[in-house]
Structure 1
Amino acid sequence: MRRILAAIFAATLLVVGCTPDGDAPTPSPSVSPKTDLPPVDADLKQVVDALNAKDLSKLANVADPKAAQEDFTTIFAGMDDIYPEVKSDAVTYGENEAVAKLNYTYKFGMHGWTYTTEAKFTYADDKWSFAWAPSAVHPELTEQTRLRHIQQEAKRGSINDNTGLAIVEERSLFEVGLDKASIPEAEWAGAAKALATALKIDEPAFQKKVADNGPKAFVVGATVRQEAIPAAVVDIKGAHVNEVSAVVGPTDTFAAPLLGTVGQPTQKMIDESKGELSSIDRVGLSGLQSRYDKDLRGVPGARIELVGRKGVEPAPQVKVLAQQDPSIGKEITLSLDRDLQTKAESVLAGQAGIATLVVLDVKTGGLLAAAQSPAAGSFPHATYGKYAPGSTFKAVSALAMLRAGSTASTTVQCPANLKVGSYTFGNYSGYPSNGLGSVSLTDAFKYSCNTAFVGAAGTVTGESLKASGGSLGVGTDYDAGFTSYFGTIEPGNSIDLAASMIGQGQVTMSPLAMASVAGSVASGKTMIPWLVEGKQATSTAAPLAAAEAQQLQTMMKATVDSGTGKSLQSIMTGAKSGTAEWGKTGAQQTHAWMIAYNENYAVSAFVEVGDSGGTTAAPLIVQLFS
């Protein structure tokens, strides 16, 4: 009966053994014409499935599956969770034996690592048995050796300022912690408390962290720059300082929301990387470090070695089985001005709440500074915050009015109150009485008359308001190469359109966007800010005409000369102040804004909770440029 089955199986191979084109068929075991052995297919599949599952303990066709699993675990213990995909290949049969080729493929380095091994089976008592041996995993593995993965991190590319000098690069930091092994157990709690006090960290939390770690652990309290290591550390028994490297900026806060951070990848990032990342890599986690991670990260060096198992004497010679050399990541250059960014952060350091300063280069549109107060944290409020711009948006509304037929000298009406539908609009508290009545558009602009702009909603449509915003660089979503928000202009009904004319309603802007408005007026052309060299967005809006820019410059200059921006006279050419109410009815607060420009800079100052643009936001600009 065996001879008949063998003949049938061999004939089948003659029919399907090759194909004229397309992918070759998966090789399948064959029956040797010299023996009467049955196919080893089913047993081979069990072994391949077990290797892919990393679990040999349930293999019924292995003499000692528990020992095989222990061997397998030892082989891969130093591989940093790098495992191969295993597929079976051709089988040859001998006298009561079968040898199957196993193809191993690792997601290792840029190009992977592949090789072939042999899995040996013996036939006895009408069944196949798999002869487990380390060589089934790699031809050179023995009972004395194992695999080891070594990774050498690529030198991460630097992020440079506008002079080409590195802002973010690899620097030394210092782990300050408690070496439990160096002091008696009875002193752990007291030393932990003293160290927590010196580092100004949570004392109970650090004491618990110390208690929860092993008796020989080094428990890190904080990782700081050298100048931040407390002097008291030298007097605390068990305290230890360990130098480490990290990719950081010149200070912990320097443009941090823009630049982002570097650290270990999340499990999701590892899973989605298709083998490119592992838990021992360092990657960009936010900001520019994340967006340009592949460029900055470079290619890490890695190798897989054949090494001796623990306790084996004499230790076998280490042999490199696969290797990838490291490369240096690419650097990126920014428009950021180091000194201006530092000064802006210094100005905002004393602000109690969220406040921002954004500065653009009038000539190039480059983002020179994007600073925010400590309360703003790591969220990029300066470039991505969404706030009602208040009366600073009147620069956009004024352009819409110019396009509807007005000029800077056109007479407009500025009543104390104006009703639109069911809602009554009024001017801000303290609005000058000489600014009421029949006034020029320039006067309405420089004194910031709400009712004059609300009244113009009859000649300005939602579409024309949005189009005017586009010509000043806002209201259109652009990929500018960094985390940025250019605002939304989506007025609805008549009341909403009237509110939008004074920068409320359905209008939201970022401080970056409002700096774009000032920059567009100052330069006389639509400005879309850029930060990363070579990653500039191009405006898709109708261009700002030279005559339109000149009219807007007249109005913004009047604001500095004799309007709400008079405090900027010594440093700025044109400006527009703004306030915007926000929050729940009855408990509303006020955003304070000021946008301004001179021949070199366009700037926006924003304070989330303030009094007015002139009294709260303008002083920040004065401090920045004084």
Structure 2
Amino acid sequence: MRRAPHLQVRMLGLLTVLALLAALLVGRLGQLQASGPDEAAGAAAAPDTRTVAVPALRGRILDRDGVPIADNDRRTDVTIDRRVLADSDDGGRALVRRVAEALDRPVDELWARTTLCGAPGAADPPRCWPGSAYVPVPVVEGVAKTEALALTETPERYPGVQVVTSPVRSYPRIAGGGGAPQTIGYLTRADAETVAESDGTLAEGDLAGAAGLEQHYDEELRGRPGQRVVRVDGRGVVVEEVSRTAAQPGRDLVTTLDVGVQRAAERALADGMADAQDRDRPATSGGAVVLDLAEGGVVASASRPTYDPAVWSGPVTQERYEQLTSGGDNPLVDRVLGVAQPPASTFKAVTLPGAVRAGVDLERPVPCTASYRIGDREFRNFESRAYGTISWHQALVVSCDTVFYRVAEQVWRDQGGIDAESDHGDPLIETARSFGLGEATGVDLPGEVDGRIPGREWKREYWEQTKDEACARAEDGYPGIDDESRADYLTRLAEETCRRGYRYQPGDEVNLSIGQGDVTTTLLQMAQVYGTIARAGSEPQPHLGDALVTVDGQQEELPAPEPEQVDIPEGSGALIRDALADVVTEGTAASAFADADLPAWSVAGKTGTAEVFGEEDTSWFVSWGPTSDPRYVVAVVVDEGGTGGSTAAGIAADIHEHLAAHERG
């Protein structure tokens, strides 16, 4: 009995606590009843709800006339509701097996798709599902509608299974060419970093631009996703949709490309490389670009090896992905702007203005000998025979190397010879850089490389980075190379590099003068250089984006980069333009243009044949037309294609023929 008062006190305290909790609950209910829209939205984010992104329809990529190059299509997919899988005694295995049998697909493949990438026990990518856990999982993508009939006709056998349509990228021009796959690019699933940087416009599992225009203009093309707020149970399975916000479609991108010219460039490049292979040239890869000199727009950009971009419209197997991304002939590489290599004699159009800056008198005849000796090394006249004393005009027409060797050696001596440490004042190097070489053009595409104008500073930096390896090779040689002559050559080269690799030798300046040695440029850079010469110093700025268009037709013009002015020494520009016109009629490209209607569409251009150790020569031709009123630059390169006149010039001739017809209408 003495304990009774204590018990009463404890009961009274408990009742007091319960009363307080009840008062708090009533107060909170009153708050919710009086709450506004913002607080209601907060309630939707309660612990038992999840927000799921609704992807926006991606904008299309169009040519200059509005012809779709990358479009949107509908794909038929088969999905399974995760709630049905979770509610099944066997986790849904029997259901997945029935679906697999109906569609004649491997059961393991479909079951792997039901697992979430990164979750415990999930299948390895790309077999698992990389998307959201709160949407029906697409176990099979890209099903033929006839296949899907087996599921829709007997729905009782397939509870939770739906046949749905999903938007997917399509490439309508690829069947007949003109798809420009390396330029257009492709889409891949966004990784966590891309999602985090997207400012809410991308969600986990969404597609994002991974190359080309798809990547550069990804933000404009992707639009803004909508949202679904769903309620989930304790297992994380969706049981109800609470609300939905519509997505905002992306904008279409109008480009400077012309699908007709693009198709012609792709066909000419493919045919020209096949012809070179018929002549026992490997012709392993190549590129062709057409630049509009009136506006600076890229009209066509072709690259080989190539591929059908439709491969990205459905699931990509690991094997197929490795085929696309591995090996030396990677078809995803854009060989117009993503590869830099020696431009050979096409570079002489850059060297000649540099020679004028060095004090050369273009009116004075020059000797074109078969070879030219500097110290104990003899440099031969690669692309042409000895012509005796000739004019500078003729030196370009016949592509005489030794004329340029003499200038280069004199420039090297004037700079201070072997003791010079700075490139400042070197007229050949400074002229090349004034044309924009050694740095990217700034075209609105990812993956552009800078190229290289090698000088004294570069050579010392490169030697410091590589001398340890060179010295090790000088000691050990190249035991892994079976070709003894090549192994011996490389060993001697390593020995020289180890001892004196930092020195800028006269041979370095000589090689620079004819676009060989360590100098590298992209095809797009050389197209820009020749456009600058054709327009007497007004440098075109390559670009592809022209306008953005909303779904309701509102158009936003994209500002075209303004041309820059390059100072070309007086007299040299006119000489180059006249000489390069004669290259096509009587010089190293004459045979390639023998059947062309040059009176109607005159062309000026320069061949180049780059020597590559251990491989066939690289074939170059850079040109413009018509010469009377330059409108287009056409530049072509073919790796291991032979001489410039035998392969690249012929490809360019075919493209010019199409451009002439195109302009006539």
Q: TM-score, normalised by structure 2?
A: 0.60
1:613 Cα deviation after fit = 0.2
Amino acid at match of 1:396: V
- Aligned twin of 1:432: 385
2:98 to 152, 156, 181: 181
What aligned pairs does 1:531-550 form with structure 2 within 5 A after superposition?
Answer: 531-533=544-546, 534=558, 536-538=560-562, 542-544=566-568, 547-550=571-574
Asked which structure has the greater RCO (Cα within 8 Å, sep 6+), the reply is: 2
2:68 to 166, 184, 194: 166
Shift of the 397–471 alpha-carbon distance from structure 1 to 2, 3 Å rule, reads: same
Shift of the 459–330 alpha-carbon distance from structure 1 to 2, 3 Å rule, reads: farther
User: Is 1:250 matched with 2:172?
Assistant: yes
Shift of the 507–443 alpha-carbon distance from structure 1 to 2, 3 Å rule, reads: same
Amino acid at match of 1:181: R
Structure 2: distance between partners of 1:468 and 1:316: 70
SS at match of 1:496: helix
Structure 1: distance between partners of 2:98 and 2:239: 33
- Aligned twin of 1:268: 193
1:388 to 342, 345, 367: 342
CA contact 2:201–2:224 (8 Å) conserved in 1: no
Structure 2: distance between partners of 1:173 and 1:96: 55
1:299 Cα deviation after fit = 0.8
SS at match of 1:381: coil
What aligned pairs does 1:126-145 form with structure 2 within 5 A after superposition?
Answer: 138=46
Structure 1: distance between partners of 2:354 and 2:98: 73
Shift of the 590–344 alpha-carbon distance from structure 1 to 2, 3 Å rule, reads: same
- Aligned twin of 1:573: 603
Which whole-Å deviations, capped at 9, do the CAs of 1:151-202 have from their partners, x for residues lacking one?
33222222221224432221245779xx963686998689x9xxxxxxxxxx
SS at match of 1:372: strand
Which whole-Å deviations, capped at 9, do the CAs of 1:290-321 have from their partners, x for residues lacking one?
12211111111113144788999xx998532x
- Aligned twin of 2:496: none
CA contact 2:77–2:138 (8 Å) conserved in 1: no
Which whole-Å deviations, capped at 9, do the CAs of 1:44-85 have from their partners, x for residues lacking one?
xxxxxxxxxxxxxxxxxxxxxxxxxxxxxxxxxxxxxxxxxx
Which whole-Å deviations, capped at 9, do the CAs of 1:9-51 have from their partners, x for residues lacking one?
xxxxxxxxxxxxxxxxxxxxxxxxxx999xxxxxxxxxxxxxx
Structure 1: distance between partners of 2:348 and 2:396: 7
SS at match of 2:455: coil
SS at match of 2:608: strand
CA contact 1:148–1:304 (8 Å) conserved in 2: yes
1:579 Cα deviation after fit = 0.9
1:251 Cα deviation after fit = 4.2
Hey, which of these two has a bigger chunk of helix by percent?
2
Structure 2: distance between partners of 1:558 and 1:591: 23
Which whole-Å deviations, capped at 9, do the CAs of 1:119-153 have from their partners, x for residues lacking one?
xxxxxxxxxxxxxxxx9x72xx7xxxx42434332
Structure 1: distance between partners of 2:593 and 2:370: 27
- Aligned twin of 2:541: 528
What aligned pairs does 1:108-147 form with structure 2 within 5 A after superposition?
Answer: 138=46, 146-147=48-49
SS at match of 2:539: coil
Amino acid at match of 1:359: V
Amino acid at match of 1:354: S
CA contact 2:540–2:564 (8 Å) conserved in 1: no
Structure 1: distance between partners of 2:62 and 2:105: 44
1:604 Cα deviation after fit = 0.9
CA contact 2:59–2:250 (8 Å) conserved in 1: yes
- Aligned twin of 2:365: 411
- Aligned twin of 1:4: none
- Aligned twin of 1:490: 454
1:272 Cα deviation after fit = 4.3
Structure 1: distance between partners of 2:524 and 2:300: 10
Mean Cα displacement is larger for which, 480-489 or 332-341? 480-489
User: Is 1:589 matched with 2:616?
Assistant: yes
Which whole-Å deviations, capped at 9, do the CAs of 1:542-578 have from their partners, x for residues lacking one?
4346744212101211211211011226354211101
SS at match of 1:156: coil
Structure 2: distance between partners of 1:388 and 1:331: 38
- Aligned twin of 1:519: 531
Shift of the 417–310 alpha-carbon distance from structure 1 to 2, 3 Å rule, reads: closer
Which whole-Å deviations, capped at 9, do the CAs of 1:249-284 have from their partners, x for residues lacking one?
334571111111123212332344465532232221
1:610 Cα deviation after fit = 1.7
1:621 to 638, 644, 652: 652
- Please say which structure displays the higher CA radius of gyration: 1
SS at match of 2:227: strand
User: Is 1:281 matched with 2:206?
Assistant: yes
Shift of the 258–96 alpha-carbon distance from structure 1 to 2, 3 Å rule, reads: same
Structure 1: distance between partners of 2:427 and 2:560: 26
Shift of the 96–330 alpha-carbon distance from structure 1 to 2, 3 Å rule, reads: closer
CA contact 2:186–2:211 (8 Å) conserved in 1: yes
Amino acid at match of 1:557: A
Q: How many percent identity over aligned positions?
A: 26
Structure 2: distance between partners of 1:562 and 1:419: 29
Structure 2: distance between partners of 1:293 and 1:218: 25
SS at match of 2:193: helix
User: Is 1:465 matched with 2:428?
Assistant: yes
1:379 Cα deviation after fit = 0.9
Amino acid at match of 1:487: G
User: Is 1:474 matched with 2:437?
Assistant: yes
- Aligned twin of 2:296: 365
User: Is 1:453 matched with 2:417?
Assistant: no
Structure 2: distance between partners of 1:454 and 1:174: 65
Shift of the 419–625 alpha-carbon distance from structure 1 to 2, 3 Å rule, reads: same
Gaps of 5+ in 1: 1-34, 38-92, 103-111, 118-134, 193-208, 211-216, 230-240
Shift of the 620–407 alpha-carbon distance from structure 1 to 2, 3 Å rule, reads: farther
1:386 Cα deviation after fit = 0.7
Structure 2: distance between partners of 1:495 and 1:562: 31
Amino acid at match of 1:250: P
Root mean square deviation, CA, Å: 4.4
Shift of the 486–358 alpha-carbon distance from structure 1 to 2, 3 Å rule, reads: farther
CA contact 1:395–1:552 (8 Å) conserved in 2: yes
Shift of the 438–336 alpha-carbon distance from structure 1 to 2, 3 Å rule, reads: same
1:219 Cα deviation after fit = 7.2
Which whole-Å deviations, capped at 9, do the CAs of 1:330-375 have from their partners, x for residues lacking one?
3332211111111111223353520111111122222111101225
Structure 2: distance between partners of 1:186 and 1:283: 30
SS at match of 1:597: strand
1:383 Cα deviation after fit = 1.8
Structure 2: distance between partners of 1:451 and 1:302: 69
Shift of the 476–407 alpha-carbon distance from structure 1 to 2, 3 Å rule, reads: farther
1:414 Cα deviation after fit = 1.8
Which whole-Å deviations, capped at 9, do the CAs of 1:465-501 have from their partners, x for residues lacking one?
2332345443343423223346321233222111000
Amino acid at match of 2:531: G
What aligned pairs does 1:77-156 form with structure 2 within 5 A after superposition?
Answer: 94=20, 138=46, 146-156=48-58
Amino acid at match of 1:577: T
1:95 Cα deviation after fit = 7.3
Amino acid at match of 2:285: I
SS at match of 1:615: helix
- Aligned twin of 1:331: 252
- Aligned twin of 1:553: 577
Structure 2: distance between partners of 1:506 and 1:224: 52
- Aligned twin of 1:58: none
Hey, which of these two has a bigger chunk of strand by percent?
1
Amino acid at match of 1:364: E
